[in-house]
Amino acid sequence: MKNFFKILMVSALGGVLTLGTYITFFEQQKVEGNTQTLEMPNTLATSYESNRIAAAEKTDFTAIAEKSIHAVVHVKNISTGSRSNSLMEFFYGDTGGSGRQVVGSGSGVIISSDGYIITNNHVIKGARKLEVTLNTKESYQAEVIGVDESTDIALLKIDKGDLPYLPFGDSDHLSVGEWVLAVGNPFNLTSTVTAGIVSAKARDINIMNNNKRIESFIQTDAAVNPGNSGGALVNTRGNLIGINTAISSQTGSYIGYSFAVPSNIAKKVIEDILEFGNVQRAYLGINYEELNSAKASEFGVESTEGVLITRVLDQGAAQEAGLMANDIIVKMDNVKISNFSDLQGFLGSKRPGDEVQTTILRNESEKILSLKLRNQFGKYKFENSDFSQFFIGQLEPISKSEANRYDIDYGVKIVDLKNGVIERTYGVGSGDIILAVEDQKVSNAKEVDQLLKKYQNKDYFELQILTKSGKQGYIRVPTN
């Protein structure tokens, strides 16, 4: 019995000691642990809920989208295509019956309340009829006011007033990372709005098969698909800052990047069309190289950004202003020039006679020179015979005796041929007669000049020639 009580006392004492140790150490450690969990960590776990203070969420696109969709139209290009049915071709031939009707689809942007619409040239090219449908589903036939192949811009007009329109913004001051909306009619789905950011500026993607092309595109990640061409690229202030023109794709549909003609270039093109009937190109009068590490090392300069002048042409704007070979153009007015696409884009928004401040690096020192831009003939303004004199030579109307001899009542005689290329290539010479330019009959030098001016941005123009021996044919005169 005594042993039993001893064991009981030892057990009780052990329990008391164990409980005291637990309270003393383990309960105290638990409180210290709680104190530690109140200290905030340096990083927080990622939240998968919408963050309402993110930059994208701060921008309300609804008002801009509502305004934009009413100013963007659906453009239908109705043309006549060649037959694709081989059985029909067998019975009727290539010219038998009427060609099948082909309907192309694109977009356009209303830029004035009286019905002027800007779109891409490739949207309306080859059209027999153009139909414009507003967001209200009203349709109108459109007239082509003018086109510019080098920028892929066209100007249309419909007979309708009091229209909603988008004002032009300043694309030179557009920033990479800025939010934009693309508005158009992809896949015939009208009034489609997508959002994205400006991914890059002054992109040359070599999409236009034209040696006079001007490529200084705005690149965005806003979704653009077939049918969006000619539609609006709009900034968050509701201003038109680009005309959606192309996508980068291996499938024909959007895969991440789209490209737009900057508004400053598009605006200048349509202003020229309205004021002059053609586009007034501004030239510096230089040969150039784009800079990178290799070129900088080759030419012995430190800068890897800018446009290096390799030659200054006679009677050009650069020569008059005092620019020299090995000067590096880094800024025009307040626009940074990192590559030739930047320079090309800037010049594309200017015309002959405009004065600009040109910032250059010369022997690693910065200089600012003022220059007055000229046209391709080294002049500030076009004169009546500039194009015909440059591309052909001296012209005069045919005489009555020549009209009777060849039995024609139109044509322009080449009095003094200046273009040695067409003389060597085709045997054309002084005394031969030009009957037509681009299939349009001509009767005097002024008409020839106007047509050459109109088609100056093509790679070549076609002349219909009547030789002194009475033979007729067509020749192609290169414009580069």
Category of 147 on φ-ψ map: left (φ > 0), alpha (ψ -120 to 50) or beta: beta
Active site residue 229: yes
Q: In whole angstroms, how large is the CA radius of gyration of the chain? A: 35
Question: How far is Cα 108 from Cα 374, in angstroms, rounded to an integer?
Answer: 32
Residue 330 C-beta-side C-alpha neighbours within 13 Å:
16
- Indicate if the alpha-carbon torsion angle 154, 158, 161, 162 is positive or negative: negative
Local structure of 371: helix, strand or coil: strand
Residue with token string 């959606």:
244
Question: How far is Cα 256 from Cα 247, in angstroms, rounded to an integer?
Answer: 8
Do residues 435 and 466 lie in contact, with contact meaning Cβ atoms separated by under 8 Å? Answer: yes
Amino acid letter at 143?
Answer: E
- Element at 14 (helix H, strand E): helix 2-21
Q: How many residues in the chain?
A: 480
Query: Active-site residue among 152, 204, 327, 354?
Result: 152
Active site residue 152: yes
Local structure of 310: helix, strand or coil: strand
Query: Active-site residue among 122, 150, 171, 258?
Result: 122
Local structure of 57: helix, strand or coil: helix
Joined tokens for residue 30? 């638990």
Query: Active-site residue among 68, 171, 216, 229?
Result: 229
Joined tokens for residue 229? 């061409």
Residue 433 C-beta-side C-alpha neighbours within 13 Å:
25
Residue 239 C-beta-side C-alpha neighbours within 13 Å:
12
Active site residue 122: yes
Local structure of 443: helix, strand or coil: coil
Do residues 159 and 111 lie in contact, with contact meaning Cβ atoms separated by under 8 Å? Answer: no
Catalytic residue list: 122, 152, 229
